[in-house]
């Protein structure tokens, strides 16, 4: 059983605090016209956005939860993407290249303006979900900013974003920010047992630890054989390969797009763990060491983003990533 898409997911685990904030704002009549849902990838930001949208569109009553019965017609229409008063903006297909765009373009945001000018089909809210707001290019961000500055009456915009620093400060300042927290390993395991019932329990536990609080990441790791890649990365870091061996690693990993993404994600995860460990050690941590690790993380992130965005040579990116780690 695979995990349902966020628009069709009836469950949200581990985000009770964020959900309660939305429930209380709705009950108090203090709903801001724009919300920025932040947190690491795969922890439920889009699931919460659709959950809240369904609640508003179904005219849910005040309570402890935003849950809407999956049998409700509003739930079914949102899941099918056919609700007239809900619009989703995300990276679209590049028809020329026959692949997903690496950014949200201005034409996609301009459609939001036209959508919000329409009269609500059911007399309630007009809701826009911008899923992956950090992917907006500058023109798209400017177009969205104009809507945030002068929102139409009855409009609600929900932005999900795992890298809010990539959004213009002017957009961040016009949204009420709601940060979602990583799940406990036990909570991630609950979801894994639901979606991967045939996987042995020890393997689910290991995936939960590797995912660091992100169920989405845990499922991606399971699909891409994350535990095996984690072991490989650990071996490489324990004994950095010589030039010939590094070329062999680069040839193998660079051959497959999914393997490349998983490998680079694992390298960055190792660096993040080093930074967190150093930060937790307090005044005893060496500032220069933390600075160096931060530079390595930025370098790996830039390598991965540019390679995936511009379809660069993955083999060279792997070699460059190994070189960065070796220098540390």
Q: What sign does the dihedral 165-26-85-55 (CA atoms) show?
A: positive
Q: Which band of pLDDT confidence, cut at 50, 70 and 90, is reported for residue 214?
A: very high
- Across the range 238-247, mean pLDDT stands at 87
pLDDT computed for residue 134 by the predictor: 95
Quick: pLDDT tens for 93-138. Answer: 777 776 778 899 999 999 999 999 998 988 789 999 999 999 999 9
pLDDT computed for residue 1 by the predictor: 58
pLDDT computed for residue 293 by the predictor: 83
Q: How many angstroms separate the CA atoms of 251 and 312, rounded? A: 14
Quick: pLDDT tens for 248-271. Answer: 999 999 999 989 998 998 888 888
Helix 16-27 vs helix 45-57: crossing angle, to nearest 10: 30
Poorest-pLDDT segment among 114-128, 156-170, 284-298: 284-298
In the chain, the percentage of residues whose pLDDT exceeds 70 is 95
Poorest-pLDDT segment among 150-154, 175-179, 272-276, 297-301: 272-276
**Mean pLDDT rounded to a whole number for the chain:** 89
pLDDT computed for residue 48 by the predictor: 98
Cβ atoms 226, 192 nearer than 8 A: no
Compute the chain's Rg from CA coordinates. 21
CA angle 116, 75, 18 (to 5 degrees): 80
Which of 54, 36, 43, 41 shows the shortest CA–CA distance to 12?
43
Cβ atoms 230, 209 nearer than 8 A: no
- Across the range 201-229, mean pLDDT stands at 89
Q: How many angstroms separate the CA atoms of 108 and 260, rounded? A: 29
pLDDT computed for residue 101 by the predictor: 83
Structure token digits, residue 252: 């193998």
Helix (H) or strand (E) segment spanning residue 89: strand 86-89
Q: SS3 of 206, please?
A: helix
- Higher pLDDT, residue 317 or 230: 317
Most confident of 1-5, 145-149, 150-154, 256-260: 145-149
- Across the range 186-199, mean pLDDT stands at 93
Q: Which band of pLDDT confidence, cut at 50, 70 and 90, is reported for residue 286?
A: low
pLDDT computed for residue 273 by the predictor: 76
pLDDT computed for residue 281 by the predictor: 62
In sequence order, which ranges of the chain are alpha helices (DSSP H)? Answer: 16-27, 45-57, 73-80, 106-117, 138-149, 169-173, 185-195, 201-211, 215-223, 226-238, 243-254, 257-280, 287-309, 314-327
Poorest-pLDDT segment among 78-87, 116-125, 165-174, 313-322: 116-125
pLDDT computed for residue 288 by the predictor: 57
pLDDT computed for residue 280 by the predictor: 64
Quickly count: other Cβ atoms within 10 Å of residue 123's Cβ: 9
- Higher pLDDT, residue 76 or 295: 76
Contacts 24+ apart (CB under 8 A), 252-261: 253/314, 253/315, 253/318, 254/313, 254/314, 254/315, 254/316, 254/317, 254/318, 255/314, 255/315, 257/314, 258/224, 259/224, 259/229, 260/307, 260/314, 260/317, 260/318, 261/224, 261/304, 261/308
pLDDT computed for residue 39 by the predictor: 95
In the chain, the percentage of residues whose pLDDT exceeds 90 is 62
CA distances to 94, 116, 136, 301 from 97, in Å: 6, 30, 19, 24
Q: Which band of pLDDT confidence, cut at 50, 70 and 90, is reported for residue 141?
A: very high
Does 284 have pLDDT greater than 50? no
Q: SS3 of 124, please?
A: coil
Which of 41, 18, 9 shows the shortest CA–CA distance to 178?
18
- The separation between CA 233 and the C-alpha centre of its own chain, rounded to angstroms, equals 23
Cβ atoms 120, 126 nearer than 8 A: yes
Phi/psi for 225 (5° steps) reads 55, 55
pLDDT computed for residue 283 by the predictor: 46
pLDDT computed for residue 235 by the predictor: 87
Q: Which band of pLDDT confidence, cut at 50, 70 and 90, is reported for residue 66?
A: very high
């Amino acid at each position: 059983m695979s995990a349902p898409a966020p628009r069709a997911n009836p469950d949200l685990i581990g985000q009770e605090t964020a959900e309660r904030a939305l429930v209380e704002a709705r009950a108090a009549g203090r709903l801001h016209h724009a919300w920025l849902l932040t947190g690491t990838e795969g922890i439920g930001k889009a699931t919460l956005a659709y959950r809240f949208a369904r609640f508003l569109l179904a005219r849910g009553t005040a309570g402890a939860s935003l849950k809407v019965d999956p049998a409700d017609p509003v739930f079914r229409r949102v899941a099918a993407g056919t609700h007239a008063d809900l619009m989703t903006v995300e990276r679209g297909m590049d028809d020329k290249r026959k692949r997903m765009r690496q950014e949200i373009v201005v034409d996609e945001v301009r459609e939001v303006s036209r959508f919000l000018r329409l009269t609500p089909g059911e007399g309630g809210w007009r809701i826009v979900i911008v899923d992956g707001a950090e992917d907006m290019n500058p023109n798209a961000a400017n177009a969205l900013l104009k809507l945030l500055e002068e929102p139409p009456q009855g409009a609600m915009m929900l932005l999900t974003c795992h890298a809010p620093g990539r959004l213009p400060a002017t957009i961040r300042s016009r949204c009420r920010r709601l940060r979602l927290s990583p799940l406990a390993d036990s909570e991630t395991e609950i979801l894994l047992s639901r979606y991967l019932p045939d996987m042995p329990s020890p393997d689910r536990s290991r995936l939960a630890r590797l995912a660091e609080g992100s169920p989405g990441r845990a499922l991606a790791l399971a699909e891409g054989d994350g535990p095996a890649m984690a072991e490989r990365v650990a071996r490489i870091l324990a004994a950095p390969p010589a030039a010939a061996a590094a070329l062999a690693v680069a040839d193998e990993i660079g051959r497959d797009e999914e393997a490349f993404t998983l490998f680079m994600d694992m390298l960055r995860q190792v660096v993040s763990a080093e930074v967190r460990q150093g930060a937790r050690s307090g005044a005893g941590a060496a500032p220069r060491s933390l600075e160096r690790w931060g530079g390595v993380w930025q370098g790996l992130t830039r390598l991965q983003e540019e390679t995936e965005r511009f379809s660069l040579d993955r083999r060279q990116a792997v070699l460059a990533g190994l070189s960065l780690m070796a220098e540390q």
